[in-house]
Structure 1
Amino acid sequence: NNEDVESHRPHLSGFVVRENSRIASNFRSQGTLDEYLSQHGIIGLAGIDTRSLVRRIRTVGALKGVLSTSDLDDQSLVKKALASPGLVGRDLVKEVVPSETVNWQEKLNDWSRCPTQKSVEKQAEYHVVALDYGMKWNIARHLRELGCRITIVPGTATSEDILALQPDGVFLSNGPGDPEPIDYAIKTIAELLPEVPIFGICLGHQLLSLASGAKTFKLKFGHRGANQPVLNIATGRIEITSQNHGFAVEEASLPDHLEITHRNLNDDTIAGVCHREQAAFSVQYHPEASAGPHDSRYLFQQFHDTITRCRSATTS
């Protein structure tokens, strides 16, 4: 349904499913899966043993693949899959980045909010500029729910463009692929670090780490799913998180001014950092819970509190 979409269009190249349900029976549904894929020109493949496919990927790591409705020759398709460029070294952000600036107004709806959470009307205290590298819309809804005024700008924006908007805080969004080729974003973030509080999610976490002097690497087994356990080092609590990434921050490369705040308990990789010298922090996972658990939604309030502290420090 249109109420739950997280972008202006889906950005996947293909969709594989064990069995395609031809009946849309949910009371909120506005069409079938097949209709949705057809509407957006996405190839879908049904009748695949997806459990077997997942077992293979979990054993050997991420693999190249190809879907075709015209070329059905096995050898030809294997050659095409092997010739595909893969993810490493590609700037996929430019394929999904928006072309225009958006002044975001929408808050959380009843289906995005926790059952015990009520919508509270708050004054738009702070102006947050969000750098969109492929941003999920529920992130903007969470920030708006806190009373922030949200301006979403293309991820290609320069630090001059951003600072001209006079933000109280800057948000670095999620996005696709390898962060290292996105040199323009890394440069922008490095220039913003001493100027304004920063909060990053997923790709934004990796870009903040790169801008702070760390390195990233491609995971053999990417983190996918809505049940990834993460340790909050400060509190000792375990958060069940939603994750979807194939790269991570390299711990051996971490400079002294970056502190590890969260760890993925499946493989002990870095799941969150904070800057010891600047008002900046980030996490590798998705706290906006769309879809996924709500364990980490406190991070949005943490960002709001960080802005408050910085504003208090400059006015005192």
Structure 2
Amino acid sequence: MKAALILEDGTRFLGESFGYYEEIVGEVVFNTSMTGYQEVFTDPSYYGQIVNMTYPMIGNYGINTEEMESTKPQLNALIVREAAKNPSNWRCEMNIEGYLKLNKVVGLEGIDTRALTKLIRNAGTMKGIITTDVEMSQEVLEKKLSTFNNKPGVMDVSTNKTVEIEGEGPHVAIIDLGLNKNLLKSFTKENCRVTIFSADTTAEDILNVNPDGIFLSNGPGNPKDIPEVLENIKRLIGVKPMMGVCLGYQLLALALGGNTLKMKYGHRGGNHPVKDLSTNKVYITSQNHGYVVEESSLPEEVKVSHRNMNDGTMEGLVYEKQQILGVQFRPELSSGSHSTAYILDKFIDKL
């Protein structure tokens, strides 16, 4: 059926509904990945977002249920130029339309995704709605967009129970802010013993299991929206070695006295060049974030470890005295280059 994406500034993109349909509101962002779309669908960091894929055809190798980052899709809706109807791959179990229908995720295809991307890039990230009411008035639009609130995102995607995974290596306590399956695999393949805690677990309960180190996972939204989680992290600083990625890295920076800022349109995709300042090597990284650590806000003893080569933003920190490190990108990388897995190895070696 005919459907439209209507942005908060009133811009309308007309297309066709596919997959599941319901009227849906979210933050409209774009992702520049050419492959790895099913990892994007199931990445908890996309919770609450309407994701516009810049690559013109999505779904050409179909869906296989083994390579998911979580148990279900996490994004609010998917926008593509063209959804592949007849995928070709020996591991394909279904096409993306069937997958979206099965999981009740809204899809919109046939719009000018290039024009949408350029608009977001120039004007910044906006809220939007996918609807069949293509003539919706501005007054109704504003009322419906005002209902969107992604502040509960972290608690919605976090585990609701403590999970223990046996291993003979170092004991890692993971605070689940929206943990990706491949991040967990990175620790279990090194035979680490892992205890996964919900995002709101107290510092005391985490320290009661006496882990060798504490890891803060990726997750959705603004790090300042979860002050209770931040307070618990502050109580863990300096007690055990710590590492954070993505949202976890931003929370570490806040806990160390730094500040975070909302980016104009964020970094989302599998092709972001980042330099390791200790080696001067540049890596192509997988990223998904809309906030950045303000470099000048950090205490002098906290050093910048990585820098984005496109816009110069800070992509990593290290605080040797407290045995803390963090990166803004995804070192476990699925899908993407595997060259930054050394950062997780550094953390495990510390333990």
TM-score range, shorter chain: 0.7 to 0.9
**One-letter identity of the residue aligned with 1:92:** G
Whether the aligned pair in 2 keeps the contact of 1:66 and 1:80 (CA below 8 Å) is no
**RMSD, matched Cα:** 1.7
Aligned-residue offset at 1:86? 6.0
- What SS class does the counterpart of residue 126 from structure 2 fall into? coil
Q: Percent identity?
A: 40
Distance 1:168 1:20 in 2: 46
Aligned-residue offset at 1:62? 1.0
Distance 1:65 1:161 in 2: 40
Mapping for residues 237-252 of structure 1, pairs under 5 Å: 237-252=281-296
Match of 1:103 in 2: 164
The answer to whether structure 1 residue 74 and structure 2 residue 136 are counterparts is: yes
Aligned-residue offset at 1:83? 2.5
**One-letter identity of the residue aligned with 2:117:** V
Distance 1:276 1:129 in 2: 20
Ranked by relative contact order (alpha carbons within 8 Å, sequence separation 6 or more), the top structure is 2
The answer to whether structure 1 residue 207 and structure 2 residue 270 are counterparts is: no
Mapping for residues 1-316 of structure 1, pairs under 5 Å: 1-69=64-132, 71-75=133-137, 78-80=141-143, 82-85=145-148, 90-104=151-165, 124-307=168-351
- CA deviations over 1:192-213 (Å, ceiling 9, x no partner): 1221111110000000011111
- CA deviations over 1:41-78 (Å, ceiling 9, x no partner): 11111111111111211222112211124x33332563
Q: Please identify, of 180-189 and 212-221, the stretch whose mean Cα deviation from structure 2 is larger.
A: 180-189
- What SS class does the counterpart of residue 30 from structure 1 fall into? coil
Aligned-residue offset at 1:145? 1.3
- What SS class does the counterpart of residue 223 from structure 2 fall into? coil
- CA deviations over 1:132-167 (Å, ceiling 9, x no partner): 101111001011111211121111111111111121
Distance 1:56 1:158 in 2: 42
Aligned-residue offset at 1:131? 0.7
Distance 1:208 1:37 in 2: 35
- CA deviations over 1:12-43 (Å, ceiling 9, x no partner): 11111111122232111111101111111111
- What SS class does the counterpart of residue 332 from structure 2 fall into? coil
Point out the structure with the larger strand share: 2
How many equivalent residue pairs? 287
Distance 1:293 1:269 in 2: 21
Distance 2:113 2:183 in 1: 30
Distance 1:219 1:84 in 2: 22
Whether the aligned pair in 2 keeps the contact of 1:64 and 1:84 (CA below 8 Å) is no
**One-letter identity of the residue aligned with 2:168:** A
Aligned-residue offset at 1:277? 2.2
TM-score normalized by structure 1? 0.86
Q: Which runs of 4+ in 1 moved over 6 A?
A: none
**One-letter identity of the residue aligned with 1:213:** G
Whether the aligned pair in 1 keeps the contact of 2:121 and 2:264 (CA below 8 Å) is no
Per the alignment, do residues 64 and 231 of structure 1 end up closer, same or farther by CA in structure 2, a change over 3 Å counting? same
Whether the aligned pair in 1 keeps the contact of 2:273 and 2:285 (CA below 8 Å) is yes
